[in-house]
Amino acid sequence: MNKAIRKAVIAGNWKMNKTPAEAKELINGIKPLVKDAACGVVCCVPYVDLPVVLEAAKGSNIGVGAENCHWEKSGAFTGEISAEMLASMGVEYVIIGHSERRQYFGETNETVNKRIRAALDAGLRVILCVGESLQQREQGVTSELVAMQTKIALGGVTKDELAHIIIAYEPIWAIGTGKTATSEQANEVCHTIRATVASLYDQKAADALTVQYGGSMKPGNAADLLAQPDVDGGLIGGASLKPQDFAAIVKAASEG
């Protein structure tokens, strides 16, 4: 596998953290630390933080993303945000299918697919999340589950559109728990994702796909994870809220 044909991307997922004032301070803290990064850098932030983060990131190498979007352009969906609304603000990325959305808010493989369709139609880049629970890993169904999630999510997505999608493997049991998949475990599932994409499209498309790891990546384990042939970056939770930690992961990806 030739990693030279695809660019690593480190994306921060701030989750439900930071007021607008705090978000501005955090972005301004991150900017000088990542300005020379050789990898892609993205910060996905709460809706209320988007205006100040977009303004603070202007002219920098930091891409800005949202943490979710609805599949309809408009309508009676109280509390939801459409992909068109995000695009109109200048948002570039959106996370879709995060395990917390699946676990707490009723997200399904089918609604993930609908959200991806809406995001692509609005011109957004998608960070698609897939991954298994601890019970599913112990039952030995990780590969089948992740392949199924990937196939359903990409239903109706053309090969050209695939170029606007990043897939993040996030083992649910490693999110916010401090537990991390071993480098070998992470690479094995990232390879499964790539093989699934190859079966849906072709090997060239699979080789060009950026596949992130998203389960408690931090400065201490980033280099080992990012050294794996099928791990092209990370979707970073807690460490993305600490400028020095986030920058250390970006540095590891830049050198990998």
10-residue stretch averages of pLDDT, the chain, 256 residues long: 80 98 98 97 98 98 98 98 98 97 95 98 98 92 97 98 97 80 94 98 96 93 95 96 98 91
Instruction: Please identify every residue annotated as catalytic.
Output: 98, 170
What predicted TM-score, i.e. pTM, was given to this entire model?
0.96
Question: Sign of dihedral through CA atoms 42, 49, 157, 129?
Answer: positive
The whole-number pLDDT of residue 175 equals 77
Beta bridge partners of 95: 127
